[in-house]
Amino acid sequence: MTEHKLEILLDVAETGNMSETGRKFYISPSSVSQIITGMEKQYGILLFDRSKQPLTLTPSGLRLCSYARQILSLYREMESSLGAGQGRSFRLGSSFSIASTFISPCILEFQKEAGSEIEIDLTINHHDKLQQQLLSYELDLAAMPLPANENPLLTSIPLFRDPVSLCCHVSHPFANRSCVQLSELVDQKITVPPRSSNIREAFEQVIRKNGVVLEQVFTSNGQAAIKDLVLRNQTISLLSLILTQENIRQGQLAMVKLEGFNYEREFGFLYRKDTNISPQLERFIRFCLEKRGQIVDPKYLL
């Protein structure tokens, strides 16, 4: 079993299409099929259900893919440790909420300082998916909201708190207020995240508890899209401080306390406890810890 074959297996598992994998690896679909069939014969198992398109993994295929990710991860660590890569690359994940506001600025500054010697492979995804990628050895480190229930296989490094408040355009009547009552939202156009959002769930709990019925509630995917609507004074919303702080500094947006609504997230780094932290990855973590006070209000640091 070679590294190349394991990479092909994982790509077929991801795409569900041998032709697509063949194009990526510059080999024919029949060659991909032969590699997969060879693995099946070697272990006496069926890896894919070929009766469906796209191809789906069997339980045995899922187990082999889990081992393959661990093997490839260890192989990369070995190369770094023994000098082939000299620890100069790592795989970083970031949740959407802090990718542009915290992680990207940190990467740019870090690479200016480190030069071209360090390569960072950045993946931006939902926090649930990032945690899965960590556990399946697809990422070395992830910056994301820290989960309420700690996973015993993961280690966390706290970064900062990110409070969520009512946000409006500076020309909105709420902008100069210190606090807004829930009842005052009744005739306001308010845009909220999808139902899968923890922010929306917390907001709806407060609304139900206080018996407030809102007449103009709209839904939009992603806080960045909602912020754009608020910047055009087309709506008000519940937005996080890290997303809006630059607009607040520029006098474009205002954050106002909403009666009865107290919600904040804690962001940090997560990595597997069995990860061999390379010197360069450790250097990046240390850099972000030092940099965070320049990006986030120091009173919110953890």
Backbone angle region of 82, left / alpha / beta, with phi > 0 → left and psi within -120 to 50 → alpha:
alpha
CA–CA distance, 235 with 189 (Å, rounded to integer): 5
pLDDT score for 51? 86
CA–CA distance, 108 with 267 (Å, rounded to integer): 20
Tokens of 71: 């093997």
Residue pair 3/72 in contact (Cβ under 8 Å)? The answer is yes
Chain-wide mean pLDDT for the chain?
88
Q: Where are the domains of the chain?
A: 3-81, 88-161+265-300, 163-264
CA dihedral 180, 184, 189, 194 (to 10 degrees): 70
CA–CA distance, 98 with 92 (Å, rounded to integer): 13
Check whether 119 has a pLDDT greater than 90.
no
Q: Which residue has the tokens 């250097």?
A: 283
Q: Which of these CATH numbers, 3.40.50.920, 3.40.190.290, 2.60.120.10, 3.40.640.10, describes 163-264? A: 3.40.190.290
Provide mean pLDDT across the span 286-301. 90
Q: For 26-64, what is each residue's pLDDT tens digit?
A: 888 888 899 889 888 888 999 999 888 898 999 998 988
As a residue count, the chain comes to: 302
Fold for domain 3-81?
Answer: Arc Repressor Mutant, subunit A (1.10.10)
154 burial (CB, 10 Å; 0-12 / 13-18 / 19+) is middle
What pTM does this model have?
0.72
For the 88-161+265-300 domain, the top CATH level (class) is: alpha beta
The reply to whether 3-81 and 88-161+265-300 are identical in fold is no
pLDDT score for 222? 78
pLDDT score for 113? 84
**SS3 of 271, please?**
strand
Tokens of 92: 């970083």
Our CA angle for 228, 298, 235, nearest 5°, is 20
DSSP character string of 68-89:
HHHHHHHHHHHHHHHTSSTT-E
Residue pair 55/33 in contact (Cβ under 8 Å)? The answer is no
CA–CA distance, 231 with 217 (Å, rounded to integer): 18
User: How far does CA 102 lie from the centroid of its chain?
Assistant: 12
Provide mean pLDDT across the span 255-279. 90
Check whether 281 has a pLDDT greater than 80.
yes
Q: For 61-90, what is each residue's pLDDT tens digit?
A: 898 888 888 888 777 766 666 554 455 778
